[in-house]
Structure 1
Amino acid sequence: MRASGAVTRSTLRQQIADALRDEVLAGRLQPGREFTVKQIAEQYGVSATPVREALFDLSAQGLLESDQHRGFRVHQFSVADYRSMVEARTLVMDAVIRDVFREPPPSAARQTRYREALVSVRRRADEAARAARGGDLDILIGYDLRFWRELGALAGNAYIGDFLHRLRVQAWMFAVPYLRGDADVRDWLWQGHSDLVAAVTLRDREALRAVVDHYNGHALNWADRLAAGDPDRPGRAPRPPGAAADPDPAAPEG
């Protein structure tokens, strides 16, 4: 395992957690990969205590599994898990949309702050959409997570924002090994970020719901494709014509 960068001594726990999360989202730490506190501590040249704390933080976020005898393992999500993530965020986002438009029009001062916040969100949206069109996963994931994080902050509920952010990190963690081995990756990267910002800017409830429905439907359509075995295995290119199919370990049973 190769460290992606040096870790300073200022906020070791968070920096180690962030570095390992980046490794997972980049696909360099594959699902099922096992490692110990000692290995990570040696990798970053730090003591075991902040490493152990960081690993338990990532376990609490559902990204790692801990085993007192074998150390830690990168969690492996199934297609069924991914579907449940999409369904959960759909329910929460529907409620958020209803609440946002139930409120009376914001005051002039709040409208000003709202417009200023949207400037940053729109910039994230443009960068995320550009990366999606180019099929650049590494850039897309970072901008996509920041986009949704900042957009969610406009709703004013940090608990909902944290919940949705965790779901999106888990969803990307599941998706990355498949997307990196998919020749049609650009077709399965959602590009509607700018449309969503436009609907939020205009406070157009129907347009907002339509974009969010497309976002979630796009993800579920991709899950259908995975359940059908296309691409056949995470992290591998599609089979050549006539090649024998291996069972997909991540496909749901039944």
Structure 2
Amino acid sequence: MPGNGYGSGGSAVTRSTLRQQIADALRDEVLAGRLAPGQGFTVKHIADQYGVSTTPVREALVDLSAQGLLESDQHRGFRVHRFTVDDFRTMVRARALVVDGIFRGGSGRPAGSFDVRALTSVRRRAEEAARAARAGDLDVIIGYDLRFWRELAEAVGNPYIADFLHRLRVQAWVFAVPRLRPDPRAARWLWGGHEHLVDAATRGDAEAVRAEIRSCDAQALAWADHLDGASRAPSATPGTPGTAPPDRAGPGPGDRPGAA
């Protein structure tokens, strides 16, 4: 992270860029689970950590608060928002409504209409995301999965919808990461149907696209139910609600599950 670099003439641009860099860095820390849900910190702490002034840090933290990732802690600083299972269910249902509208033609373009050239890039993201899902590699799949969904939404041609869906998916991953990371069965909960979805989009088959997305969302809701069941089970290990209880089997090897 660079220093503040303020100077006459370019200070506004420099500060804006630094603000975004700090926001991106902290978002990555939250997504990686290095900033845990409920963990608090002050503006000064972050400024000292990155060797910058407090102004762009405060602006970055306010931005992340507006995105629902942080919350203000009564003049004591900020803390990472703690999402609940019910919050996660709401995210999944909200994005399902939006995506269904997109592929019914609600984006202002005909249903199933994609920028075919954009799908080339989307396919590369799909291949990497699916590979990481099969390997259970959280550190890799998060970035590729987020880029996959963002680029897919942008291929429909509405940047406002793409931004909204991206925010929902970031929040979903923030919820999922601390629950998946200690789970030895995490790979079985990671959705890996990205390539199937791109295939359907390339064919222009809007119904097949929607079916793939419904499958992903249904599995995400099933995972939420699993978390509730695991947290109530007497044999559940505290702090690892993503671990399957002995009396409930996870998805079979042929399934394509989707935690986030």
Same fold, TM exceeding 0.5?
yes
1:155 matched to 2:156? The reply is yes
Matched, 1:203 2:204: yes
Q: CA deviation at 1:127?
A: 0.2
Q: Is the 8 A contact 2:91 2:172 kept in 1?
A: yes
- Determine if contact 1:7/1:15 at 8 Å carries over to the other structure: no
- Offset at 1:170? 0.3
1:30-179 superposed matches below 5 A = 30-99=36-105, 103=110, 114-179=115-180
Q: Is the contact made by 1:97 and 1:205 (CA closer than 8 Å) also made in structure 2?
A: yes
SS at match of 2:191: coil
State the Cα distance separating 1:102 from its structure 2 match.
6.9
Deviation of the 1:232 alpha carbon: 4.7
Partner in structure 2 of residue 249 of structure 1? none
Check whether the contact 2:112–2:201 (CA below 8 A) recurs between aligned residues.
no
Pairwise CA distance, 1:117: 1.0
Query: Would the aligned equivalents of 2:230 and 2:243 in 1 still touch at CA under 8 Å?
Result: no
Q: 1:233 to 1:89 in 2, by over 3 A?
A: farther
| CA distances 1:191-250 after superposition (whole Å, capped 9, x unpaired) | 000000000000112211210111101100100100112565445784998xxxxxxxxx
Gaps of 5+ in 1: 1-5, 242-254
Task: Indicate the residue corresponding to 1:194 in structure 2.
Answer: 195
In the TM superposition, what is the alpha-carbon distance from 1:61 to its structure 2 partner?
0.2
Flag structure 2 segments of 5+ consecutive residues without an equivalent.
Answer: 5-13, 247-260
SS of the counterpart of 1:229? helix
TM-score computed with the length of structure 1 as normaliser:
0.84
The share of aligned pairs that are identical, in percent, is 63
Q: Distance in 2 between matches of 1:236 and 1:19?
A: 27
Give the number of aligned pairs.
230
AA of the residue aligned to 1:85: M
Q: Deviations over 1:28-56 (max 9, x none)?
A: 00000000000000000000000000000
CA deviation string 1:32-91 (max 9, x = no partner):
000000000000000000000000000000000012421101000000000000000011
Matched-pair contact (CA < 8 Å) for 2:180–2:242: no
* Cα distance in 1 between the residues matched to 2:237 and 2:157: 41
Code of the residue aligned with 2:188 in structure 1: it is D
Distance 1:75 1:115 in 2: 38
| Change in 2 beyond 3 A, CA 1:91/1:62 | same
Q: Hey, what's the Cα distance between the residues in 2 that align with 1:238 and 1:128?
A: 23
RMSD (Å) for aligned C-alpha atoms: 2.3
TM-score normalised to structure 2 length: 0.83
Q: 1:143 to 1:8 in 2, by over 3 A?
A: farther
Which one-letter code corresponds to 1:27 in the other structure?
Answer: G
Aligned mates of 1:149, 1:199 — CA distance in 2: 17
Change (3 A) 1:147 1:240: closer
Comparing 179-188 with 224-233, which one deviates more in the overlay? 224-233
Contact 1:16 1:54 in 2 (8 A): yes
